[in-house]
Amino acid sequence: MEAIDGIIYINLDHCTERKKEIEKEFSRLNIPPKKIHRLSGVYDQLNGTRGCLLSHMMALQLAIKKKWQSVLICEDDIFFTCDGKVLEQKLNEFISFANGMWDVFLLTGSFIEKEKTNHQNILKINRSWNAGAYLVNGNYLEKLFACFTFGYEIAKNHLFYMQSERLRCSTDQLWQVLQKEDLWYGAFPRLTLQRLGDSHINISSKPFDHFGSIIFIDQGNSQNRFSILDNISVDVNKVATLKTPQAAIEKAISLNTTSALIIYDHITLEKSQKRLDEEIRHLKAWLGEDWDLYLLDHFEGALDDCEHLYYQKIKKLDAASLFAIKDRFYPTLLNHLKNGKTISSFRVEPHHKIYCAKPDKTTVTM
């Protein structure tokens, strides 16, 4: 790994299983142990954003102290999507491409605003989320540290996570200012992704808060509907009940929400809120806003593997009783339903981004 002077992975002391998993990854990649440095992360039970921010600041401080010319900073819940030879090849390709003119190279992330470069596997990044794995140029360490310090000065007096989140104090929100003006790049396809597991930043599990509206489809099971509402943590002002899928999509459009969760009132929630929250958080960390439909209930239709270890791409829709839909996909599905067709008869095209999680047996417990 000539392109990297050092690798720092952030790991909370009590997360021993995560430590084993990430070290197993480094071993699989044949990374020299002398390049790997564990950083004991800051555990802030009430404000994980602040703890995460401090941990990344400490990682940057360590790299500055060691005077590294390049450092890879990783969180302990990542896994690499390639082997060691391919990783080294990709890093060398980037270093050659950038020719010294770079600040940060993101190995993962939700690349919200990006531009193509003259290299098919390298994107110019203008806005992204996710600080799971990123390579920093030694000349840029101080500037990135100052950026995080600015956020910490705001977050240090916040008791709770949501206070810091509302003021955009997380690492991947703070650095978006720098991405607009400096030389940030990203790997395509991504070289690392996140494992499913508990978040130590947001300690609550409220999966339905991820969506702008929640719409039940009334199939005459009002008692079950009320039971579901009793068992989930949700703002009731976000909930509506309609008779048909078509009416549900029309309602979502009228509410002008960026996403909606559609629930048939006959279903039984087989997955825990914690499990659902993990799925949705990691889906968003992986894809950002770049998805169309996500099925949260158990699915046994036609599936394809995709670049993420824990998700599958759906090739043919079967029954869908609990699903999330993105606003960009509202018109497509609505046009189909207007012709009197069912969701299960929708023709999935290759460009559609429709996903579900793999069965629970693939989940890694952290």
Report the C-alpha gap between 27 and 33 in whole angstroms: 8
For the domain made up of 207-362, give the CATH fold. Answer: Spore Coat Polysaccharide Biosynthesis Protein SpsA; Chain A (3.90.550)
* pLDDT reported for residue 365: 31
Which CATH code, of 3.90.550.10, 3.40.1160.10, 3.30.70.1150, 3.40.50.12170, is assigned to 6-194? 3.90.550.10
Instruction: Give the mean model confidence (pLDDT) for residues 317-327.
Output: 88
Cα dihedral: 169, 170, 173, 178 (round 10): 80
Name the amino acid, one letter, at 19: K
The predicted-structure confidence for 267-300, as pLDDT tens digits, reads as follows 887 777 778 888 888 888 788 889 999 998 877 6
Confidence grade of residue 110 (pLDDT, cut at 50, 70, 90): confident
What pLDDT score was predicted for residue 51? Answer: 84
How confident is the model over 191-229, as pLDDT tens digits? Answer: 998 876 555 444 444 677 788 889 999 988 887 877 777
pLDDT score of 169: 67
Helix 141-155 vs helix 48-66: crossing angle, to nearest 10: 150
* CATH 3.90.550.10 location in the chain: 6-194
Answer for the pair 132, 191: CB distance below 8 angstroms, yes or no.
no
Phi, psi (rounded to 5 degrees) for 127? -165, 130
**Span 134-193, pLDDT tens digits:** 999 999 999 999 999 988 887 767 644 554 555 466 888 899 999 999 999 999 988 998
pLDDT at res. 364: 34
Task: Flag whether pLDDT at 84 surpasses 80.
Answer: yes
Name, in order, each residue with C-beta under 8 angstroms of 187's C-beta and a sequence gap of 6 or more.
90, 94, 105, 106, 107, 108, 121, 122, 123
pLDDT of residue 202: 47
